[in-house]
Amino acid sequence: MSIPRSEYPRPQFVREQWLCLNGEWQFEIDHGDSGQERGLRDRELAQRITVPFCPESKLSGVEYVDFMAAVWYRREVAIPAEWQGQNVLLHFQGVDYDATVWVNGKEVARHRGGFAPITCDLTGVAAPGETATIVVRARDDHRASIPKGKQSDRYERYGCHYLRTTGIWQTVWMEPVPAAHLLRPRITPDLAHTSFHVVQPITNTRPGYRLQAVLLWEGLELAREEVAADADFAPQLELSIPADSVNLWRAGEGNLYDIELSLSNAAGEVVDQASTYAGLRAVTIDGKKVKINGESVFQRLVLDQGYYPDGILTAPNDEALVQDIQLSMAVGFNGARLHQKVFEERFLYHADRLGYLVWGEFPDWCAAGANRQGGYGLGMSSAVVQWLEVLERDFSHPSIVGWCPLNETHNRIGDHITSHDDLMLGMFLAAKAMDPTRPVLDTSGYSHRVPLADIYDCHDYAQDPEVLRKNQAGLAEGKPYKNDSGSIESIAYRGQPFFVSEFGGTWWNPEAAQSGREQSWGYGQRPSTIEEVYTRFEALCNVLLDDPNMFAYCYTQITDVFQEQNGIFFFDRSAKFDAARLHAIQTRTAAIEKE
């Protein structure tokens, strides 16, 4: 039987030896979250599940869609004997939401947050040649105020809230490492000096150890640098690119350099090695323009929520991740706003190699309406910590051209400083501290509260192009459209680059249109014919493409998602429209691109 999702899960930091643990695991639903008292940690479990798919999904083999207070997993793994003499790391790429991991009866990890990896060091617990009995408990109260993106807090799906994901939803795997080993590097492109800065953390380094990095382009060595690995906590190297080998990463051109990393001991023997990659590109702001490599590039973004009919938040296979990017590019988009989900690393890898621009976002939406009422529950107290984990994981991906920690936040006029303001500032400062190389938007739409935010935006779902044009006309005079209402307030606009980060959302489902059924929705008045959809799409895009003060837009959305049927493609990724026609509409030169 083939192993599902068996591709390497961490493509930007690759070691040769690893073991995929996807496939059949023992499983049991713990409705009362009483499993530890009832001995679930220490016995066989009653059901079976296919990891890494969540139990709500068809691909898991469980397909249970009611609330689950907790779920348990169990599997025995024979650790390869050929890893003898090394430590064993057990990785979970994503477990939603509150996970505890035991191996051979000992707790090896406790982690809260469903969107960042968990690493368990099994030193002293399980060694190569031994059997590791892995037990995982995942608690996930979807009715509580915890960051969960678009997962429904009701039994049913409704509005723009969709089927839930509980427990393991990304790859589980093991790898052997020496006691002194490389951790994930932080790679910063330096376009001005045509080089890459590499910060390489090392754990348990020893006297006399050396770190080496080799830069390659299509297998040809371009640069080699070596530094002492015992002089600094995180040794740094600079890899300079020869003038005749400069290949810029840009939209539509995912030019990637390979970097080979190795750690040697005092005798010159290599004790650890890994490979990574990098793209040479810069993101800068020039007035109202956001430039990539010094050129104004209108970012034709599409809202991508990363849902799948059979896997929910988990793509059924690696090809599905590639397909989503290719479909987007085929209709004229050059990037995506990754909306209310931290996408798995394989998606970012494919975006890197295909030259696909993306904005990273944190899934901050909590219990229904909580983020829209000006306050956040106690579950948000760990949001900054979870956001820092995401920033650390994804820092080195060249495809990411901006960060957006929050979405559609509301702050009440007349309030004193609220938890809303504290959280937004904390998330913004976390992004700026972790990553000074990219612009940061404090929140997408609604209540902007951080004066130093690099970008300003709005959401505008006007379906009449003339209404959209009128709404956005004030930008030319420094008075952009805001999502303020009678009780919602944003701080003043100060001339930052501006874009409409959600627009369109036009409903189209020809079967439902023919039958008159009301089982789906989109924004505004429904078109009566497909030709009306084309006309509206072109006119709405033209309003924003023609605005010399608009650096980007983000159309809602790439695919239908369950009941929300306003996608460019159906939920199963089949075609709704003529791709060539949409591509032609979007890809003409935008006003801001004209010098």
Q: How far, in Å, CA of 287 to CA of 561, rounded? A: 36
- 496: phi then psi, degrees, rounded to nearest 5: -65, 165
Q: How far, in Å, CA of 36 to CA of 380, rounded? A: 26
Bridge partners (DSSP) of residue 213 are: 225, 261
Q: What is the pLDDT of residue 176?
A: 98
- 350: phi then psi, degrees, rounded to nearest 5: -70, -35
pLDDT in tens, the chain (595 residues): 699 999 999 999 999 999 999 999 999 999 999 999 999 999 999 999 999 999 999 999 999 999 999 999 999 999 999 999 999 999 999 999 999 999 999 999 999 999 999 999 999 999 999 999 999 999 998 888 888 999 999 999 999 999 999 999 999 999 999 999 999 999 999 999 999 999 999 999 999 999 999 999 999 999 999 999 998 889 999 999 999 999 999 999 999 999 999 999 999 999 999 999 999 999 999 999 999 999 999 999 999 999 999 999 999 999 999 999 999 999 999 999 999 999 999 999 999 999 999 999 999 986 333 444 444 444 566 889 999 999 999 999 999 999 999 999 887 666 556 677 888 999 999 999 999 999 999 999 988 999 999 999 999 999 999 999 999 999 999 999 999 766 678 889 999 999 999 999 999 998 875 655 567 889 988 999 999 999 999 999 999 999 999 999 999 999 999 999 999 999 999 999 999 999 999 999 999 999 6
Neighbours of 143 (CB within 10 A): 12
Angle value at C-alpha 467, between 461 and 473, nearest 5 degrees: 100
Q: How far, in Å, CA of 403 to CA of 395, rounded? A: 10
Angle value at C-alpha 585, between 583 and 589, nearest 5 degrees: 100
Q: What is the pLDDT of residue 511?
A: 80
Residue 405 in tokens: 């920690």
User: For residue 106, is it left (φ>0), alpha (ψ between -120 and 50) or beta?
Assistant: beta
Please report, for residues 181, 209, 336, the alpha-carbon distance to residue 203 in angstroms, rounded to integers and kept in the order given. 6, 12, 36
499 within 8 A of 288, measured Cβ to Cβ: no
Q: What is the pLDDT of residue 422?
A: 85
Q: How far, in Å, CA of 87 to CA of 178, rounded? A: 6
- The alpha-helical segments, DSSP class H, found in 355-476 are 383-394, 419-434, 465-472
Residue 273, SS3 per DSSP: strand
Q: What is the pLDDT of residue 37?
A: 96
Neighbours of 77 (CB within 10 A): 18
Q: How far, in Å, CA of 429 to CA of 100, rounded? A: 30
335 within 8 A of 401, measured Cβ to Cβ: yes
Residue 524, SS3 per DSSP: coil
172 within 8 A of 27, measured Cβ to Cβ: no
Q: Domains along the chain?
A: 19-175 (2.60.120.260), 192-278 (2.60.40.10), 296-593 (3.20.20.80)
232 within 8 A of 255, measured Cβ to Cβ: no
Element (H, E) at 535: helix 530-545
Q: What is the pLDDT of residue 416?
A: 54
